[in-house]
Structure 1
């Protein structure tokens, strides 16, 4: 039977996702058979699993850290917020309905939790270590009785628990003490120690606090992780939308139901981006409409708020416009949606000669494609799709050459004058494409070309894990697990 190690936090954003990822890589490189697990994740950033289902991007990356193919077993319950206190429930990779928070609490949660624990039991039987990520804080008084992602999971798996706190925010010692005091005696016994994350400064200055924690709770501080720059996404529950104007003014429409906004991370690093919500803000050299959890509702929101007209006006004045997934669908001439919004036929923005019909089944696949858009024709790119829409266009953006490694020939996306749309999530993580695209726009603005720094998720995982390993008492953790 495998061992369970659980990472819980004093709050959202404490660093659970990345500490879990780092430990997955550390233990894997030590020769253990390791997998990640999170019973329930609420996230708008998702990715395809090896089975073709949908999981949180956090567990997707943790699987890569384990050198495993991402599986639906690593994230059985995924909640995708839809607004108005409702979420789509994705269970074992497949959507099973849309419910209000109250409906989920009272009718769905217990049933799904039992099934998720069966999945966890199977993982523990098959692997040496399961590194489990908690959610938010384990001691929110109004939520604790309904919590199926923290101590209930730890007790079920008899997991050893590490409590992590973000010291960069301040109040970390109080957060640890408050969390420990609100845990039951049985729950406190599962905690093996504490980790202080994102520290800047002299660690010796923290010693009085460490002594206090050890004396009060009999638990040691397992490590202090330094603040470090990296290119790995933070916890899924955190949504930070920057407003940075680079040489190129890149604007992204912050839709009410925005999804998979991790698509644009390379643009943050290469230039800077500016998320906008008002028509009067729109003035960029590049305007991007991102993916959406509710395409038609977000299109109508843009229409009602004047953003659609502002985009059309900016495009007429020379701005380049891009749509990713739902954004691509909005840029077409027509959407027929009797599935997601149930609005039927809806007029699109009309910048692309494309039409979209929503289907009952969601496509979740890894893709390899060849760009057909003339400025970069023949360039090969990787990406993934998560969509219910099926679109046809006169001029495709690319030809899909492989779906989940199997040869294919399928046109996708659309191009027009000063505009393209694509279903390829992750298109900007193809650095050759991004460099050529940005330099095309820079040339138009008489700016010097740039070189986009190339990096890989694998390199970032390895670099981050090495720093964590140097600053964490790995031997003590393994001893606590009986390994």
Structure 2
């Protein structure tokens, strides 16, 4: 097996998307390819077929590589909980809640044998491994315990391609500065540079590229123009990206207010709303920005209790309740669903063990337990739509009176609560079921006397496949794949 690694001059330079592109390019060229990221910190996660939890980026990259994702592709996932503490997911399962100091001083070295086991299993199955780095490899204060960047390049004997985002400005300084802070043996691994997210005339950049190659002695393998390809985001930084900037409300027939919880997780649940015609999603983090939407969405969260307390302190609880009295619809997903209930009972394991009165919009109460439930699921909604998605939750919500469940799963379990005004579910990815999403918003269109939109929407699988192929074509056009293949074949 040969390995190639994408590292960046900082976070959010496009490493995940470029790894996704390479996975699709290699598999389309006939290779058995798999993604890998030793340690990931993300609140957007992906559930494998066997119920393991990994970073969403590696799940997406596996899809691009036309393989099933496994926990070996991301053996360590860190999910921040606040106060410098993260949940550590090891091989797809909850391992412990660990503070940052303990993680750096004791856990990192102890877990390296587990990372090597994952690499060993991948080696016997695949011809090419596409590794993704984390943040920057040149963080001096972190390098001694960094197992996501150059250490993985050494472990896999990977050639490294350094990626910089030109949109940020200072692209040449960021590249030269990163290289200057690498050790000699680390710098020797960097075989190419990519300038990403370029807008404008490439001819105006040519003199800078020529200078960079002469100064560093490293070839620029490509200048990749910006493309708004519909690939799911992993990093919370993507919440402030161009795609998720708050739109102008008056441009849309249906206004959707998504509560931007401080510990928001799996916000890719909202991606399809940006593609639904006439629907204007916007993130809201204050009462003054709530206004009078048609729908309020409470998304998932890594800490339901703390985010609900924030919701109270911000005044949004009262604002939401007042809007519900005026007929505004509400959707809660996972932690957001728990907030819609009558009570949230926190276990001593998760926190104080206290009980909190919640929004009271659905007749449920939630108790937290030590065992996390994580599964891919499929079932049928009360409205007759076949849906798929995934669960990740340690809360157990039970009705306090007879309710109409939102989904009946294939195994007979019931999920969520459905009323004409309020919908709650544990199923992440519910809006990725495009026929259900079209149905939901057509009901709103009918209530507002807006023309309905035909239910001939592409499935999410078809959309994703189109996106992967578009990404292959776009990146292949602007990247020197011949040089990349030379790196791979010369190292065999």
Counterpart for residue 259 of structure 1: 265
Counterpart for residue 308 of structure 1: 317
Matches within 5 A, 1:160-309: 160-241=159-240, 242-244=245-247, 245=249, 246-270=252-276, 271-282=279-290, 283-309=292-318
Counterpart for residue 405 of structure 1: none
CA distance in 2, matches of 1:458, 1:100: 39
Q: What's the CA shift string for 1:77-108, capped at 9, x where partnerless?
A: 11111112221111111111112222211121
TM-score, structure 2 as length reference: 0.92
The question of 1:415 aligning with 2:423 is answered no
Counterpart for residue 473 of structure 1: 480
Asked if 2 retains the 8 angstrom alpha-carbon contact of 1:163 and 1:195, the reply is: yes
TM-score, structure 1 as length reference: 0.94
Q: Which moved more, 1:317-326 or 1:272-281?
A: 272-281
Asked if 2 retains the 8 angstrom alpha-carbon contact of 1:11 and 1:165, the reply is: yes
Asked if 2 retains the 8 angstrom alpha-carbon contact of 1:294 and 1:341, the reply is: no
Matches within 5 A, 1:103-142: 103-142=102-141
Counterpart for residue 77 of structure 2: 78
The alpha-carbon distance between structure 1 residues 252 and 237, as it changes in their structure 2 partners (threshold 3 A), is closer
Asked if 2 retains the 8 angstrom alpha-carbon contact of 1:351 and 1:416, the reply is: no
**1:309 Cα deviation (Å)?**
1.6
Matches within 5 A, 1:301-450: 301-338=310-347, 339-372=349-382, 377-393=383-399, 394-402=402-410, 408-450=411-453
Asked if 2 retains the 8 angstrom alpha-carbon contact of 1:396 and 1:411, the reply is: no
Asked if 2 retains the 8 angstrom alpha-carbon contact of 1:42 and 1:237, the reply is: no
Asked if 1 retains the 8 angstrom alpha-carbon contact of 2:42 and 2:234, the reply is: no
The alignment partner of 2:408 has SS state of strand
CA distance in 1, matches of 2:436, 2:473: 30
CA distance in 1, matches of 2:317, 2:407: 28
Gaps of 5+ in 1: 403-407
CA distance in 2, matches of 1:6, 1:440: 47
The alignment partner of 2:280 has SS state of coil
The alpha-carbon distance between structure 1 residues 210 and 280, as it changes in their structure 2 partners (threshold 3 A), is closer
Asked if 1 retains the 8 angstrom alpha-carbon contact of 2:12 and 2:238, the reply is: no
RMSD: 1.8
CA distance in 1, matches of 2:222, 2:165: 12
The alignment partner of 2:360 has SS state of coil
Asked if 2 retains the 8 angstrom alpha-carbon contact of 1:356 and 1:391, the reply is: yes
**1:212 Cα deviation (Å)?**
2.0
CA distance in 1, matches of 2:7, 2:281: 32
Asked if 1 retains the 8 angstrom alpha-carbon contact of 2:409 and 2:415, the reply is: no
Q: What's the CA shift string for 1:347-393, capped at 9, x where partnerless?
A: 22111112222222211111112111xxxx21111111111122223
Asked if 2 retains the 8 angstrom alpha-carbon contact of 1:391 and 1:412, the reply is: no
Asked if 2 retains the 8 angstrom alpha-carbon contact of 1:253 and 1:287, the reply is: yes
Asked if 1 retains the 8 angstrom alpha-carbon contact of 2:233 and 2:268, the reply is: no
Q: Which moved more, 1:464-473 or 1:440-449?
A: 440-449
Q: How many residues of Structure 1 are paired with residues of Structure 2 in the alignment?
A: 473
CA distance in 1, matches of 2:133, 2:237: 14
**1:235 Cα deviation (Å)?**
4.4
**1:68 Cα deviation (Å)?**
1.0
Asked if 2 retains the 8 angstrom alpha-carbon contact of 1:4 and 1:124, the reply is: no
**1:22 Cα deviation (Å)?**
0.6
Asked if 1 retains the 8 angstrom alpha-carbon contact of 2:44 and 2:234, the reply is: no
**1:417 Cα deviation (Å)?**
4.3
Q: What's the CA shift string for 1:193-247, capped at 9, x where partnerless?
A: 1111111222233222222232223221111211112111244252415322232
The alignment partner of 1:201 has SS state of coil
**1:62 Cα deviation (Å)?**
0.5
